[in-house]
Structures are given as structure tokens and as C-alpha cells.
Amino acid sequence: MRVLITTSGFAVERNASLMSLREAGAEIVVNPMGRRLTEAEARDLMAEMDPVGLIAGLEPITPSVLAAAPSLKVVSRCGAGVDNVDLEAAAAQRVQVRNTPEAPGAAVAELTVGLMLAVLRRICEGDREVRAGRWPSVPGAHLGARTVGLIGFGRIGRRVATLLAPFGCEILASDPAMDVDAARNLGVTIMSMGDLNGRADVVSLHMPLTPDTRHLVDAAFIARLPAGAVVINTARGGLVDEPALLAALDTGHLSGAALDVFEEEPYRGPLSNHPAVVLSPHAGSRAREVRGAMEAEAADNLLHALRDVGLL
């Protein structure tokens, strides 16, 4: 019995569930490349190893990747999202898919608020100027005076609202599965996405990537935002039409943006050259404490699922 770990940097030796799997006779194989795999690399590695269990990162788990491992029974995502896993193909192959929705929430929410502050207060711009030997006046904007619109009000959206409350900003939220009681308790105003678009100075995305939400933030969406608005994305890169975002920044309709996620990663696109953009390398959950909790949850999920299917 073989278990493959493709997410990079996984602390195997400190993971109690993986040690239990070893004691049960499982061979634990770690991604030899130490980075995110391409679809072709993931397919080749799956074909070579044919694992019964996979602890996956963000590599594409497509039908061809799944089909390359006929023994596969469980995919355990080390992370909250499962949009990189073809769920229909997994179900057709009778592969269980688990994720870790709880662990990364606090860290992603913290980074979200940090990015809001970085853009509004122009922290990165000021840092660049001082390092270059200059001492300019860099006027920013006060978060407490902004209206923040949260698109998606699940675990992370609610945590962001909690962190924003002491700043005193007005908080709006739109979500088709809105937790009305949570919104009321946090002083959040519930409204449609269209109404939110017309009022929010800062729009922060906290929703999954699906065919319906791909390029949700497109030219039409951005045009409805107030002049000088800011877009924050710590959810999934495909939610934002990056050329449309850049065009709005170039015209000045958007005063800034902060992105932790991109359609193609590592990101090497033209947003890198825009002074009003803050870029982060998909670091939302990469706090040491959170990463450890995610790894523990992912391995626990794998262990329990393998027991469920009768392999342990």
C-alpha cells in the first residue's frame, strides 16, 4: 500500500497519522520535485506510484491524472479548496475527496486584512521609495473610512468581517448561502452583489472558483464599482479577469489591487509592473501554525477515509 504526498514541504516525520499509516505497512512517498507539479508531472508520478491515497496540493487533479492511478481510493486536499480536483471524474472512479476547510481560515483572513492595509496605506510603495533613498509624501486612505464589500460570507468571509469590525468600516456582504444570523451578529449589511458593487470602496473575494464564478470580476463588474475602488483577491485566481483589472488600474478607475492568487502560478504577468498593485505568492495559509494544522487535518482525513474503504 502506497501513499503519495504531492503538496510541497509536508512535514512527514512530525505527522502522527502518517506514522500510523507507516506502522500499518504503508509506504509514504513525497513529491520529489519539491514544488507544485504540472498536470503532466502529476500524471506521470501517479502512474509510477499508483498510490491508494493522495495528499494533494494545488496541482491539477484531472481525469487523466486520476486514471493514471487505478488503485487510488482517496484524495485528501491539504487546503480548503477542491477546484483543482475534477470531482465528477473522482466520483466516477469511486475516489473519495476530502479537504481541510477549518485550518487555513484564520491565516487567510489575516492576510486579507493585511493586503487591504497595504494597498490603502500604500505601504509597499513607501517601502520601495525609502529603499531607493527617497523620502516622499505617500498619502494613503483610511480603512476605517471605507465601505468594504465581502463577496462570499463563508468561514473566511466571516473571519474577515470579525477582524474588520474594530477598524470601524462599514461592512457589506453578498452570498447566495448567506448566514443571516452571523451577519447580523457582526454588524454586516446583507445585500445583492449588484447593490454591493455600487457601494463598496474595497471589494474582497471569498468564494470558490466554479464555471459560474470564473472571471466574476470582469470589465463590467469593475465598471460598476465606485471610482477609486480597490479589489482584493485571496480566494482563487480565476475569479478575476486579470487584463480587465489591469486596464481599470491604468485608467485610474481602480486605485489599487492586491492579489495572493492568480490564474497562472507562479505569476509572471504585467500586473507585476503596476505600482498600485500588491502581489503575494499564494501565501494565504502559509503561517507556520496553520500549515501544521492543515497537514494534520489532511493526514487525519486520509487515514479515516482509508479505514472507511476497508484498506486499514
Catalytic residue (one of 48, 102, 265, 289) = 265
Same domain for 155 and 296, yes or no, is no
CB burial of residue 162 (10 Å; 0-12, 13-18, 19+): middle
* Percent of the chain with pLDDT strictly greater than 70: 100
Active-site residue flag, 282: yes
pLDDT (mean) for 212-229: 97
Say if residue 9's pLDDT is above 90.
Answer: no
Active-site residue flag, 2: no
Same domain for 300 and 203, yes or no, is no
Pinpoint the alpha helices (H) of the chain: 16-23, 39-49, 63-67, 87-92, 105-120, 123-131, 155-164, 180-185, 193-199, 219-224, 242-251, 288-308
Give residue 297's domain range. Answer: 2-103+288-308
- Rounded to the nearest integer, the mean pLDDT of the chain is 94
Same domain for 57 and 183, yes or no, is no
Say if residue 46's pLDDT is above 90.
Answer: yes
pLDDT (mean) for 150-161: 96
Contact between 278 and 119 (Cβ < 8 Å): yes
Active-site residue flag, 265: yes
CA distances from 206 to 198, 213, 220 (A): 18, 11, 19
pLDDT (mean) for 237-244: 98
Same domain for 66 and 52, yes or no, is yes
Same domain for 93 and 170, yes or no, is no
Say if residue 122's pLDDT is above 90.
Answer: yes
Catalytic residue (one of 236, 242, 291, 295) = 236
Catalytic residue (one of 199, 224, 282, 304) = 282
Same domain for 79 and 38, yes or no, is yes
Question: In angstroms, rounded to a whole number, what is the distance separating the alpha carbons of residues 65 and 68?
Answer: 5
pLDDT tier for residue 207 given thresholds of 50, 70 and 90? very high
pLDDT (mean) for 112-128: 97
User: How many domains does the chain divide into?
Assistant: 2
Say if residue 291's pLDDT is above 90.
Answer: no
pLDDT (mean) for 135-152: 95
Same domain for 145 and 230, yes or no, is yes
Same domain for 77 and 63, yes or no, is yes
Same domain for 41 and 130, yes or no, is no
CATH number at residue 19: 3.40.50.720
Supply φ then ψ for residue 65, to 5 degrees.
-65, -45
* Percent of the chain with pLDDT strictly greater than 90: 80
CB burial of residue 303 (10 Å; 0-12, 13-18, 19+): buried
Same domain for 209 and 72, yes or no, is no
pTM of the model: 0.84
Instruction: Supply the pLDDT for residue 293.
Output: 87
Same domain for 38 and 165, yes or no, is no
pLDDT tier for residue 286 given thresholds of 50, 70 and 90? confident
Same domain for 207 and 251, yes or no, is yes
Instruction: Supply the pLDDT for residue 157.
Output: 96
